[in-house]
Amino acid sequence: MPINVTRSSMPDFEEYCNEIRELWDSRWLTNMGVKHKELQAKLEQYLGVRHVTLYTNGHLALENVIAAMNFPKGSEVITTPFTFASTTHAIVRSGLIPVFCDVNDVDYTMDVSKIEALITDKTVAIVPVHVYGNLCDVDAIKLIADRHGLKVIYDAAHAFGVTKNGVSAACFGNASMFSFHATKVFNTIEGGAVTYADDALVQVLDDRKNFGLHTPEEGLYAAGNAKMSEFQAAMGICNLRHLDGEIAKRGVAVARYRERLCGVDGIQICPEQRDVTSNYAYFPVVFDGYKYTRDEVFERLRAEDIIARKYFAPLTNSFECYRTLPTAGADKTPVAQHLAERVLTLPLFADLTVGDVDRICDIILI
């Protein structure tokens, strides 16, 4: 069995079967049924946030919350290119122009010192990314957004379960998007959510994920279908029961990685963030002046059936589909480009043993 970059957390087979048993009786499989309602309430409680709206995946969650903000087409949104394709695509597919801000070289989130220089009279929002589960500088971003009247929508796809001074990542900005994809710390197979405090958004988001229909006879928005099914919600209910244990197990693997790799010349590891409780979503390592390049480490691991990943290379601002964007070009975000050429995310999941971590580190260090 190869060791992949991650491995889905799953409940026991019987636990999931028990959870979905009633769906065979009710024949109610989707469209905001009992499992959907139960998961939503449980997540509001777990995250300590006023509202959670569930989606069939994180990407559509992000597109829907951007649509709900009603920004004029052609408006500019400041974001980072050091992310999964989804973040930039969601902005562009919403008819908005992504303006790429560089990241910092400590936690790889948006470099807040570079945001204000990018604001123009067309800027409407900031979409920062809590990349790898590292929290952005949420206080600085709030100050800048308030000063310029901008909305903040966090891509918190990686940040489920992360807290800062006890406050959940779900509570920052005007809204946050989480991914519950199979590869995430908390999964609903495919799935996602938007979290927010504004009561006025509840109905808009509920309508928008259901074809924009307010009632079966009232079409308010030309929207699509982004509903989470009962089977996805049932998986979430099961996984939530075990989440804290799964995060703790990931923490053990991360502690071992740190023990083995921190302080090695040419290897850069993100420091633990102050006041932040991590979810240990990813373990990125930057090879900068190390005896092997990133690509050599990748190949050495692959030769042993260990599949690390180059998240996030290439940068989204160098994607072919954005070649004609006036803001495209990885040279405009040199720190992100430097990282994209050197970063490797090592395998990390709850069942990864300390023995596995040692084997991976031995291959890297030998």
Question: Smallest distance from the beta carbon of 216 to ligand T4K, in angstroms?
Answer: 28
- Residue among 83 and 290 whose Cβ is closer to ligand T4K: 83
Contact string (CB under 6 A) for ligand T4K, positions 147-186, x = contact: --------x-xx--------------------x-xxx---
For 343, the 3-state DSSP assignment is strand
What residues from 183 to 202 belong to the interface with ligand T4K (CB under 6 A)? 183, 192
Rule CB under 6 A: say whether 352 interacts with ligand T4K.
Answer: no
Rule CB under 6 A: say whether 268 interacts with ligand T4K.
Answer: no
- Residue among 61 and 69 whose Cβ is closer to ligand T4K: 61
What separation, in Å, do the N-terminal and C-terminal C-alpha atoms of the chain show?
23
Q: Residue 155 corresponds to which tokens in the numbers above? A: 């891509």
Distance separating alpha carbons of residues 250 and 356, to the nearest angstrom: 12
Q: Residue 31 corresponds to which tokens in the numbers above? A: 């469209």
Contact 80, 314 (CB under 8 A): no
> CA torsion, points 347, 353, 359, 363, in degrees to nearest 10?
20
Question: Smallest distance from the beta carbon of 320 to ligand T4K, in angstroms?
Answer: 17
Measured from each CB, the residue nearest to ligand T4K is 58
Number of residues that bind ligand T4K (CB under 6 A): 23
Place of tokens 């197990």: 249
Question: Smallest distance from the beta carbon of 334 to ligand T4K, in angstroms?
Answer: 21
| Cα atoms in the 13 Å half-sphere on the side-chain side of 366 | 8
Rule CB under 6 A: say whether 129 interacts with ligand T4K.
Answer: yes
Contact string (CB under 6 A) for ligand T4K, positions 30-69, x = contact: ---------------------------xxx----------
Residue in 86, 229, 239, 279 binding ligand T4K, rule: CB under 6 A: 86
Rule CB under 6 A: say whether 84 interacts with ligand T4K.
Answer: yes
Q: CB atoms < 10 A from the CB of 334, how many?
A: 10
Q: Residue 119 corresponds to which tokens in the numbers above? A: 């604001």
Contact string (CB under 6 A) for ligand T4K, positions 226-255, x = contact: ------------------------------
Question: Smallest distance from the beta carbon of 80 to ligand T4K, in angstroms?
Answer: 10
- Residue among 33 and 191 whose Cβ is closer to ligand T4K: 191
What sign does the CA torsion over 201, 136, 330, 158 have?
Answer: negative
Least Cα distance to 178 among 94, 35, 281 occurs for: 281
Tell me how many helices (H) and strands (E) the chain has. 10, 15
Distance separating alpha carbons of residues 183 and 158, to the nearest angstrom: 10
Distance separating alpha carbons of residues 273 and 53, to the nearest angstrom: 28
For 317, the 3-state DSSP assignment is helix
Residue in 53, 64, 80, 87 binding ligand T4K, rule: CB under 6 A: 87
- Pick the stretch among 80-88, 167-175, 225-233, 318-326 that binds ligand T4K (CB under 6 A): 80-88
Residue in 83, 109, 123, 176 binding ligand T4K, rule: CB under 6 A: 83
- Residue among 107 and 155 whose Cβ is closer to ligand T4K: 155
- Residue among 58 and 290 whose Cβ is closer to ligand T4K: 58
What residues from 309 to 328 belong to the interface with ligand T4K (CB under 6 A)? 311
At 257, the amino acid letter reads: Y
Q: Residue 183 corresponds to which tokens in the numbers above? A: 């590869």
Question: Smallest distance from the beta carbon of 345 to ligand T4K, in angstroms?
Answer: 9
Q: Which residues contact 245 (CB under 8 A, 6 or more apart)?
A: 350
- Pick the stretch among 2-10, 95-103, 285-293, 298-306 that binds ligand T4K (CB under 6 A): 2-10
Least Cα distance to 193 among 303, 295, 52, 329 occurs for: 52
Rule CB under 6 A: say whether 6 interacts with ligand T4K.
Answer: yes
Q: Which residues contact 49 (CB under 8 A, 6 or more apart)?
A: 168, 170, 171, 195, 196, 197
- Residues forming contacts to ligand T4K in the complex (CB under 6 A) are 4-8, 57-59, 83-84, 86-87, 129, 155, 157-158, 179, 181-183, 192, 307, 311
